[in-house]
Amino acid sequence: MLLHHRLLPRLLLLPSTHTSTSTLLRPSRLPRRLSLSPRFSALSHLAAPETVDQSDNEGATHEDVQVKLPLDRLFLPPGATVDAGNQEAVSARVLKGSNIVLGPYARGDAQVVNADFVKSSVRPDDCPRDGLPEFALVGRSNVGKSSLLNSLVRRKRLALTSKKPGKTQCINHFIVNDSWYLVDLPGYGYASAPQEARTNWDEFTRNYFLSRETLVSVFLLIDASIPAKKIDLDYASWLGQNKVPMTLVFTKCDKRKKKKNGGRRPEENVETFQSLIREYFEAAPPWIMTSSVTNQGRDEILLHMSQLRNYWLKH
């Protein structure tokens, strides 16, 4: 089927010359080179080897956002420009706890005024057909997809959450401000199933990614309280191979009990995941750190979604 994804990330698989331990996590079914989107490759000249200190951001209060990001690791949304000579201006436009630059398509429509459950579907054909743009939340079971959705719309139980993995089992559409959808998906990697069964992601979810023309971007959730998992890298690679636009959302950034997460802080896990994922992408996919407990990242995700949506609607 011909795809109409309009926000393809710049993707390029690097030659597999790396010999670090990270190659243990290298997904096995990757093509040598993924196609470039003309729109995004047009922005590639903006990358420059300077650094950005996010702690300069207006309103940046969280200690964990004080990371230095080279400009070539920033996600530049369509229409955004970066003046490498003006670090302060760039810094002010990087969303807190992320690599996402705020661009001209962010237009003050990021607030959630109302949100409602619409329907559950088990086949892409059953999903709403009104042509409104949508964002899908996907990730391992229990990573916090439903919790993030509730945090974004400021409702405690709009999407049902559970300590027990496997709570969400269908494609659930929630309409926001009567104009766009958040989609809560079932988790992958659940159960004590053997490795092969775990990487065989639910057929209907994959069909949904490949056939849903109104899907603006997938938000792939990664648990930042535990070390990087191969299944998450595989999933990101699968989305990349299939040219499905994605944003990496690191969840549970409030969890810092060292014993439980193997002694590593969320920031360290996030950094490791990013360095692993960079081996497969020419340009860093957009990423953001969040917590549904403290609502860290909530407003930033909504701004990011707003600029993606506005661009999608105009093209």
Residues binding ligand GTP (CB under 6 A) = 139, 141-147, 161-163, 165-168, 186-187, 251-252, 254-255, 291-293
Nearer Cβ to Mg ion (26/155): 155
- As a whole number of Å, the CA-based R_g of the chain is 18
251 near Mg ion (CB under 5 A):
no
Contact assessment for residue 233 and residue 27, using Cβ atoms and an 8 Å cutoff: yes
Return the HEC string of 176-191: ECCCEEEEECCCECCC
140 near Mg ion (CB under 5 A):
no
Residues in the interface with Mg ion (CB under 5 A) total 4
User: Shortest gap between Cβ of 202 and ligand GTP (angstroms)?
Assistant: 11
- Contacts of residue 135, Cβ cutoff 8 Å, sequence gap at least 6: 180, 181, 182, 183, 215, 216, 217, 218, 219, 305, 308
By a kind-dependent CB cut-off of 5 to 8 A, residue 271 interacts, out of Mg ion, ligand GTP, none, with none
User: Shortest gap between Cβ of 232 and ligand GTP (angstroms)?
Assistant: 12
User: Shortest gap between Cβ of 193 and ligand GTP (angstroms)?
Assistant: 14
User: Shortest gap between Cβ of 297 and ligand GTP (angstroms)?
Assistant: 9
Tell me which stretch binds Mg ion (CB under 5 A): 49-57, 138-146, 197-205, 229-237.
138-146
Buried b (16+ CB within 10 A) or exposed e, 156-182: eebbebeeeeebbebbbbbbbeeebbb
Q: Where are the beta strands (DSSP E) in 160-257?
A: 171-176, 180-184, 215-223, 246-251
Most distant CA atoms of the chain, gap in Å = 52
Query: CA-to-CA distance for 18 and 20, rounded, in angstroms?
Result: 6
User: Shortest gap between Cβ of 73 and ligand GTP (angstroms)?
Assistant: 24
By a kind-dependent CB cut-off of 5 to 8 A, residue 142 interacts, out of Mg ion, ligand GTP, none, with ligand GTP
User: Shortest gap between Cβ of 224 and Mg ion (angstroms)?
Assistant: 18
Pick from 57, 146, 261, 307 the residue near Mg ion by CB under 5 A.
146
167 near Mg ion (CB under 5 A):
yes
By a kind-dependent CB cut-off of 5 to 8 A, residue 163 interacts, out of ligand GTP, Mg ion, none, with ligand GTP
168 near Mg ion (CB under 5 A):
yes
Query: CA-to-CA distance for 151 and 294, rounded, in angstroms?
Result: 9
Q: Which residue has the tokens 């001209």?
A: 104
Contact assessment for residue 266 and residue 67, using Cβ atoms and an 8 Å cutoff: no
By a kind-dependent CB cut-off of 5 to 8 A, residue 5 interacts, out of ligand GTP, Mg ion, none, with none
Nearer Cβ to Mg ion (168/292): 168
Tell me which stretch binds Mg ion (CB under 5 A): 139-147, 188-196, 202-210, 242-250.
139-147
User: Shortest gap between Cβ of 273 and ligand GTP (angstroms)?
Assistant: 16
**Bridge partners (DSSP) listed for residue 289:** 250
